[in-house]
Amino acid sequence: MTRRKKIYEGKAKTLYEGPEPGTIVQYFKDDATAFNAEKKDVIEGKGVLNNMLSEYFMTGLGAVGVPTHFIKRLNMREQLVRACEIVPLEVIVRNYAAGSISKRLGIEEGTAMPRPIVEYCYKDDALGDPLVTEEHIAAFGWASQQDMDDIVALALRVNDYLSGLMYGVGIRLVDFKIEIGRIYEGDFQRLVVADEISPDSCRLWDIETGQKLDKDVFRRDLGSLTDAYTEVAKRLGVMPKQANPVSKPTLIN
Ligand SMILES: Nc1ncnc2c1ncn2[C@@H]1O[C@H](COP(=O)(O)OP(=O)(O)OP(=O)(O)O)[C@@H](O)[C@H]1O
Ligand SMILES: [Mg+2]
């Protein structure tokens, strides 16, 4: 047996060559980072939860006609996806103010946006993923005008799907970030939702209590990140009862 080829090791995931050309295996690590990797930790079980949750969201999006890179989950930590050329943008949708928009514009966290706001950050760790406008995107050729129309439509469809799903289990979708991939088919290209959708990339607040159930728990030291993500998975019925993300030895009589 030859060892499969590692394509990329990121902060949260490692990518391996998939079994067929044009496929990739995403391995979800337990590493958590924030503030452009200034804060780091290993959170046991996070990779398993994000793998299961991303599968759940991507499958649901596919079922309502939103194209994604997802093919199938392989095991507790890995999923098979279509290999894409990633558009170098983080596409953010905000329903309520939180995080950087609150700081930038002095809006209190939790304030409802007049309508969903779509923002773009240029994916460049060395620059700290700076906020950019459609002018920069067009001028520097990161995406065409047609791409941008498709990207906004995709982002808003993801927002409708995810916010409805979350509302149904008592969770407010405050904001989220997605990445978009290009898949080439002959002379054509298709844009799909790529990377991951998980509590690492969304802000999720309990509707009743306001409790944070996303990566802000780690960023702001608000308690156990695994407990928060497990709560999301449980409410959505994603975690199989017997599959504890943190596997401890069990005593067998
Ligand atoms: N379907 C796909 N095809 C190709 N690349 C992908 C696909 N889905 C996600 N990626 C890329 O794989 C990497 C996932 O790793 P991870 O999330 O750990 O990266 P990261 O540390 O956040 O770094 P980056 O700044 O590159 O996003 C990202 O660079 C992401 O853009
Ligand atoms: Mg990432």
DSSP letter for each residue of 126-137: GGT--EE-HHHH
Could you say which ligand is closest to the alpha carbon of residue 36?
1
The CATH H-level superfamily of 6-82 is: Phosphorylase Kinase; domain 1 (3.30.200.20)
pLDDT for 239: 82
| pLDDT tens digits, 15-60 | 999 999 999 999 999 999 999 899 999 999 999 999 999 999 999 9
The distance of Cα 199 from the centroid of its chain, to the nearest Å, equals 7
At how many degrees (to 10) do helices 145-167 and 46-63 cross?
110
Identify the weakest region by mean pLDDT among 2-6, 73-77, 249-253: 249-253
From-to residues of CATH 3.30.470.20 in the chain: 85-224
- The fold of the 85-224 domain, in CATH, is D-amino Acid Aminotransferase; Chain A, domain 1 (3.30.470)
Cα separation of 97 and 238, whole Å? Answer: 28
Q: Is the pLDDT of residue 241 over 60?
A: no
Residue 144 tokens read as 């065409």
Which atom of ligand 1 is found nearest the CA of 129? Answer: 25
From-to residues of CATH 3.30.200.20 in the chain: 6-82
Q: Is the pLDDT of residue 245 over 90?
A: no
Residues with CB under 6 A from ligand 1: 8, 10-13, 15, 24, 69, 81-84, 86, 123, 125, 179, 181, 194-195
pTM above 0.85, yes or no: yes
Residue 145 tokens read as 């005008």
Q: Which of 161, 38, 145, 187 is nearest to 178 (CA)?
A: 161
